[in-house]
Structure 1
């Protein structure tokens, strides 16, 4: 566990990690992670001028060190990944990896781009900056052309060239594309593709994926706290959940309960409305408002995304309080 008050790692304004270590195609150099447990998809804290507030990121990480997370995810949807420049993405990967290295917990970085070539390049750079695995979202701009053949080719090329394990990422609410079960079944056989984060919310789909990939070294992670317990029952091994940013200890408790064969249906129901506030209803702006409420740093979003109104903050607060999650300074 990291010590409170430790010195923040320094980082230069210009970071290029790609020269630190490059691997030959198809080699993961023996670096593996075992998926399972709760991973918070970290938000990117900004100053009022929209520069990255690394001191606030360090402050949040210091508090997260007290929670038994399985690891951390950066550059997911909650990190406002599409709004960051590549250099900023690499700065964050290096910063977080340096900060958490004493914990020996893995860092997963989102490296998905619209083209396969760009994804391969960014994956290499993120691995060089310390990412232990990459999470690759489905390319989506040319939706009509993103059929199974295109997806299988894309992910296979990325996994073949990546020096770290690859996790598939399906988030149809943002991309409009749900990676098909048939494609997942084929990709699960790749030795460097270790799992899937599924944010679609279809628990029967999760169960089907688990069943069809049995016998493979392939794990499924739930993409939301709103269906975390049902996803466990369907065969998932954990979750990358937005709500973990503010209720990480609660989600880790649910994971521990399930591992000990305790099914807490009431706790799952209590999570649904607060989770809705920071996902479907208010999105990342709502997530940052909730962080502020619970004593973390949320702060502003990067434009064109706007922060939520004062009225919305009250709605978000009420949803937590009504479900017995009382905001308090940490």
Structure 2
């Protein structure tokens, strides 16, 4: 049974994209508009600065500014949980403390990378970050990007830390996911899907929420899927999930968030192109993307 404080970090999240101007600068007015769009359409848990937000292409100053804008624009209407993870413990600590100072409700931190950590190193890393914060910490496991995969046993150990409240799980191995859920079953610890493809299976296996890429474009629908599954209405959740399954595939026509940004600009308002080394979605893929969005009733 999750405590009331941990239940705040369950449910439907959007991992926010980062809008850029035509000359590649942070588009602050459009970011504010994006925050309002999400909240107005029912998603009140926002996670900026993640992979979908092009974290690797952002400066530390931009990550801090993005967090400031999302906190300011949310104005208490949404939980704000920025991803402040880096390859360096010192940088992660600095950014996490900045997020806390700004008023973020919690901090996400993806695993360090480049220098592959040991399991004991990962446990120490997250323990040090959690000890340094007065706001809760959530881990972010995304081995497809970092090549680092936190062992289920390490997740279980860290789940007992009083200031680590959950994990955004991006590993798509459902056997491994079941193991994680089993090991943390008695902990006050939320397991959130970090991948649209495994969102419904995660919820059916006992997970507590979903941090969604596609929700940028379809926030209300994403929330409906999560809420139905958490309420035990698995047939409704399944039918909704399958309705949008092709869109989940389309979002990954190219490295995330290339197709997502194009889809959002088609469906809602312009958010700009991704930053180099990412490039815009090739023109010959746009008709297929639009067709899928029409079939999914997203246009």
TM-score, normalised relative to structure 2: 0.93
Q: Contact 1:41–1:241 at 8 Å: present in 2 too? A: yes
In 1, the alpha carbon distance for the partners of 2:288 and 2:150 equals 34
CA shift for structure 1 position 33: 6.7
Cα RMSD between the aligned structures? 1.6
Q: Contact 1:243–1:275 at 8 Å: present in 2 too? A: yes
Which has the greater radius of gyration? 1
CA shift for structure 1 position 282: 4.2
Q: Contact 2:6–2:165 at 8 Å: present in 1 too? A: no
In 2, the alpha carbon distance for the partners of 1:197 and 1:318 equals 31
Matching of residue 93 in structure 1 with residue 73 in structure 2: no
Q: Contact 2:131–2:163 at 8 Å: present in 1 too? A: yes
Matching of residue 63 in structure 1 with residue 34 in structure 2: no
Give the counterpart of 1:137 among 103, 106, 110.
110
Q: Secondary structure at the match of 1:318?
A: helix
Q: Contact 1:32–1:132 at 8 Å: present in 2 too? A: no
In 1, the alpha carbon distance for the partners of 2:258 and 2:207 equals 28
Q: Secondary structure at the match of 2:252?
A: helix
Matching of residue 270 in structure 1 with residue 243 in structure 2: yes
Gaps of 5+ in 1: 1-30
Q: What count of residue pairs does the alignment treat as equivalent? A: 293
**What's 1:74 paired with?**
48
Q: Secondary structure at the match of 1:110?
A: coil
Q: Secondary structure at the match of 2:272?
A: coil
In 1, the alpha carbon distance for the partners of 2:10 and 2:120 equals 29
**What's 2:201 paired with?**
230
Gaps of 5+ in 2: none
- Per-residue CA deviation, residues 19-46 of structure 1 (Å, 9 max, x unaligned), is xxxxxxxxxxxx8772211111111100
Q: Contact 2:140–2:169 at 8 Å: present in 1 too? A: yes
Matching of residue 244 in structure 1 with residue 215 in structure 2: yes
Q: Contact 1:140–1:175 at 8 Å: present in 2 too? A: yes
Q: Secondary structure at the match of 2:257?
A: helix
CA shift for structure 1 position 203: 2.3
In 2, the alpha carbon distance for the partners of 1:303 and 1:225 equals 25
CA shift for structure 1 position 200: 1.4
Pairing of 1:1-330 with structure 2 (within 5 A): 34-103=8-77, 105-143=78-116, 146-263=117-234, 264=236, 265-279=238-252, 281-322=254-295, 324-327=296-299
Mark the CA change 1:197 to 1:290 in structure 2 (over 3 Å): closer, same or farther. Answer: same
In 1, the alpha carbon distance for the partners of 2:103 and 2:214 equals 25
